[in-house]
Chain A
């Protein structure tokens, strides 16, 4: 009996998952997949590629060859860990900072550059063609993921929708409405909140009064788990569990990936305006790539020679993508009408002709 002798009708708990400590040592026995050196090094390679890609993208932006760009610095383990647990036929609904997940799923680097370079063709990407493009209006992709998952359930397809968003998005009704519906219908959807501590300049403590974001799943009727988002082994393990539960008809899950955005919000942001260099410096000790490298090296799964080779590979791959991006022929202005409707209504066809310089509208 609780206070006043009233009965307790429900109790909840929120668990936290972590395997690798910041120094690369292990806190508890690793999941089975971690004995697969090829898989672990693939995760490492993907995170390294993402970091290299980010660095180059920022350089392009600074030299006027790319638009505003959102780096993943410090949170590479989230998108790589999640995507690595998905099947090709699952559907990803990413936020604008989930480049790592897109790349893992086969989207070409030059397509991502095209998107950030201001060209819609970047959203007509390789890889799973049913995956959604980056969602810019925060959290508004969450209802889409519930709709996608509802279609899977209606058609009895063993597929899972994976919806990614940031900590700020959890303050929006969109996310709650989607989670609530997913809980009602036990939909095959996994919600992933990347809690990088900052929604542009607003810290988590001003974003929510909750102790965790994971507990928001409790209100929607399913399991929310907090995961060390700088530990790619934990991210992969949590994603595997959540995605397989969803695929098996056990309903949705929520993963709060607790990590830290080491970079600015975007290239248009200066994070020093709202947080100290000391805070960021301290967080560098926890970042995911050095952490996994320490573990791999300690396990003799990774060598200095492999590291050097990887660096060269990443450089080559990114540079080649940049070349292809910069060499992409511009579109004709009137192509902005090309996919407005399935068939362009006559009244807009006239506007298209006007834009093409083919007479008056």
Chain B
């Protein structure tokens, strides 16, 4: 199997989906001849033509709204928003239309669209390019929110998202677009949505994360192992709807849980997981659930951004504290 980067796996999945299904249409700003600002769509226009790989005008609301109209006609549009900070004009379309048209028409009209966007900080990008507001999206009923954390899962989950009959927002971890490498077989096989991946088994503490932050989380698990602490690491992968059973099952086993995310703390998705554990996993807890998150501040520009993001040290410290509790 060839080794490739995460962004190459995204490209491979898009090509495979377009090859397999003539209804798949890729659209966005600069996705054509330029191949996308991160090169996720490189080569697709040459291969599938400018009608199916479509450079749109510079208008994000339009991209998401076009996807709704195309999807209502049975196309499978995959829209690209260049950075998550530019996703916000799409929120009206996601909340009011994409996520609910099936429900409000009682299944008469459906919306099998995917909206892809890079997610998160750590690439020294300009302002508004480093957002991680997945909790906002995960709050929307009827939507799916998916974040891969490896090339293999980027390939398999993106295929699943494109084949899914409902709208999916696919958040691609910018920081590991090229840093994450792995073997990917172009076998056209999708990975399951709504399912968490247990990346590492352990009995002492559960570490839950998603996207680029799994890099630090896995490194923390290595550091903890060196101290004799066996951490179980869960890649949540789909945040809406999320795999409650895997979370609860793991916490029942370990009794301790540290949730790691780059997004700001208040109302972040970690709060949702902590609430779930409080409601349905309290009796198995041996220590308070801990969150290691970004701070409740505007994401700093390049010079300070690494201080906002959870570090391996912060994760190890939180896990150590959980293990030493009581």
Residue from A140, A151, A346 in contact with B74 in the complex, judged by beta carbons closer than 8 Å = A151
Q: Could you tell me if A174 and B65 are in contact, using CB atoms closer than 8 angstroms? A: yes
Expressed in whole angstroms, the minimum distance between the Cβ of B98 and any Cβ of chain A is 10
- A246 located at the interface, meaning its Cβ lies under 8 Å from any Cβ of chain B in the complex: no
Q: Is the CB of B57 within 8 A of A342?
A: no
> Which residues of chain A are near B164, meaning CB under 8 Å?
342
Residues of A within 8 A of B67 (CB): 147
Nearest chain A CB to B100 CB, angstrom units: 9
Q: Is A324 an interface residue (CB 8 A)?
A: no
Check B324 for interface membership: any CB of A closer than 8 A.
no
Which of chain A's residues 97-136 have a Cβ closer than 8 Å to chain B? Answer: 120-121, 123-125, 129-130, 132-133, 136
Contact partner of B66 among A136, A146, A173, CB < 8 A?
A146
Q: B25 and A140: CB pair below 8 A? A: no
Tell me whether B165 and A342 are in contact (CB under 8 A): yes
Could you say which of B38-46, B102-110, B226-234 contacts chain A? B102-110
Please indicate the chain B residues that have their CB under 8 angstroms from the CB of A168 in the complex: none
Evaluate contact between A147 and B93: CB separation under 8 angstroms. no
**Taking the nearest CB of chain A, how far is it from the CB of B96, in angstroms?**
5
Q: From A124, A154, A348, give the contact of B107 (CB < 8 A).
A: A124
Tell me the complex Cα distance, A70–B44, Å.
47
Q: Does B75 contact A (CB under 8 A)?
A: yes
- B70-A148 in contact (CB<8A): yes
A151 vs B61: C-alpha distance when bound (angstroms) = 18
**Is B287 interfacial (CB 8 A cutoff)?**
no
**With contact pairs A137-B92, A348-B241 given, residues A121 and B61 touching in the complex (Cβ less than 8 Å):** no
User: Is B16 in contact with chain A by the CB < 8 A criterion?
Assistant: no
Check A140/B72 contact, CB under 8 A, given A120-B106, A133-B105: no
Is B186's beta carbon under 8 Å from chain A?
no
Q: Determine whether the beta carbon of A339 is less than 8 Å from that of B102.
A: yes
What 0/1 readout, one digit per residue, does chain A (322-344) give for beta carbons within 8 Å of chain B? 00000000000000101111100
Does the CB pair B62–A146 fall under 8 Å?
Answer: yes
Which residues in chain B, 74-119, are within 8 Å of chain A measured between CB atoms? 74-75, 77, 92-93, 96-97, 101-110
The tally of residues in A whose CB lies under 8 Å from a CB in B reads 43
Question: Does any Cβ of A come within 8 Å of B141's Cβ?
Answer: yes
Q: Does A184 contact B (CB under 8 A)?
A: yes
From the candidates B77, B105, B166, B244, name the one contacting A123 in the complex (CB within 8 A).
Answer: B105
Interface of chain A, main secondary structure: helix
Q: Are A147 and B66 in contact (CB under 8 A)?
A: yes
- Which B residues from 26 to 74 make CB contacts under 8 A with A? 51-52, 56-57, 59, 61-62, 64-74
In contact, B72 and A130 (Cβ under 8 angstroms): yes
A142 partner residues in chain B, CB cutoff 8 A = 65
User: Does A178 count as interface, using CB distance less than 8 angstroms?
Assistant: yes
Determine whether the beta carbon of A144 is less than 8 Å from that of B62: no
Interface status of A143 (Cβ within 8 A of chain B): yes
CB <8 Å contact, B103 and A120: yes
Bound CA span A260–B78, Å? 41
- B269 at interface (Cβ–Cβ under 8 A)? no
User: CB-CB < 8 A to A151: which residues of B?
Assistant: 69-70, 73-75
Cross-chain contact A347 with B244 (CB below 8 angstroms): yes
Convert B261-279 into 0s and 1s, putting 1 for each residue whose CB lies closer than 8 angstroms to a CB of A.
0000000000000000000
CB-based contact A150/B69 at 8 Å: yes
Residue of A nearest to B67 (CB): A147
Contact, CB under 8 Å: A143 / B73: no
Chain A residues with CB below 8 A from B59, complex form? 173, 177, 180-181
Contacts of A129 in B (CB 8 A): 108
How distant is B314 from chain A, measured CB to nearest CB, in Å?
Answer: 30
Is the CB–CB distance between A147 and B68 below 8 Å?
yes
Which one of A130, A140, A336, A340 lies within 8 Å of B102 (CB-CB)? A340
Task: Assess whether B65 is in contact with A342, with CB atoms less than 8 Å apart.
Answer: no
Q: For the complex, give the distance between the alpha carbons of A59 and B62 in Å.
A: 39
| Residues of B in contact, count (CB < 8 Å) | 45
Q: Flag whether A254 is at the interface (Cβ < 8 A).
A: no
Q: Known interface pairs A124-B106, A180-B59. Does A143 touch B66 (Cβ–Cβ under 8 Å)?
A: yes
Q: Is A64 in contact with chain B by the CB < 8 A criterion?
A: no
Q: Is the beta-carbon distance between B69 and A140 smaller than 8 angstroms? A: no
Task: Return chain B residues, CB-CB under 8 Å to A120.
Answer: 103-106
With both beta carbons as reference points, the residue of chain A lying nearest to B68 in the complex is identified as A144
Contacts of B72 in A (CB 8 A): 130, 132, 144, 147-148
> In the docked arrangement, what's the CA distance between A120 and B77, Å?
26
Distance in angstroms between the alpha carbons of A290 and B62 in the assembled complex: 41
A152 on interface, CB distance cutoff 8 Å = yes
Q: A154 with B52: in contact, given A177-B59, A177-B61, A345-B241 (CB under 8 Å)?
A: yes
How distant is the Cα of A137 from the Cα of B68 in the complex, in angstroms?
Answer: 14
Is residue A196 within 8 Å, beta carbon to beta carbon, of the partner chain? no
Given A147-B70, A154-B25, A347-B244: A173 touches B61 (CB 8 Å cut-off): yes
A145 within 8 A of B: yes
Chain B residues in 8 Å Cβ range of A152: 73
**Contact indicator B70/A150 (Cβ below 8 Å):** yes
With A130-B73, A180-B57 already in contact, the answer to whether A339 and B106 are too (CB < 8 A) is yes
Binary flags per residue of B157-189, CB closer than 8 Å to A gives 1, else 0: 000000011100000000000000000000000
Query: Which residues of B lie under 8 Å from residue A173 when comparing CB positions?
Result: 59, 61
Taking a contact as CB atoms closer than 8 A, the residue among B65, B92, B103 that contacts A340 in the complex is B103
CB of A147 within 8 A of CB of B65, answer yes
Instruction: Please report the C-alpha to C-alpha distance between residue A161 and residue B68 in the assembled complex, in whole angstroms.
Output: 14
A residues near B (Cβ < 8 Å) are 91, 120-121, 123-125, 129-130, 132-133, 136-137, 140, 142-152, 154, 161, 173-174, 177-178, 180-181, 184, 336, 338-342, 345-348
Of the A-B pairs whose beta carbons lie under 8 Å apart in the complex, a sample of 21, sorted by A's number, is A91-B73, A120-B105, A130-B72, A133-B101, A137-B96, A140-B93, A140-B96, A143-B62, A148-B69, A151-B69, A173-B59, A178-B65, A181-B66, A184-B57, A338-B106, A338-B107, A339-B102, A340-B102, A340-B103, A342-B110, A346-B245
Q: Which residues of B contact A (CB under 8 A)?
A: 25, 51-52, 56-57, 59, 61-62, 64-75, 77, 92-93, 96-97, 101-110, 141-142, 164-166, 194, 241-242, 244-245
A-B pairs, top 10 by smallest CB distance, nearest first, are: A147-B69, A143-B65, A151-B73, A144-B69, A124-B106, A177-B62, A342-B165, A147-B66, A345-B241, A147-B70
Other A-B pairs beyond A143-B65, A147-B70, 4, CB < 8 Å: A140-B92, A178-B65, A181-B56, A181-B66
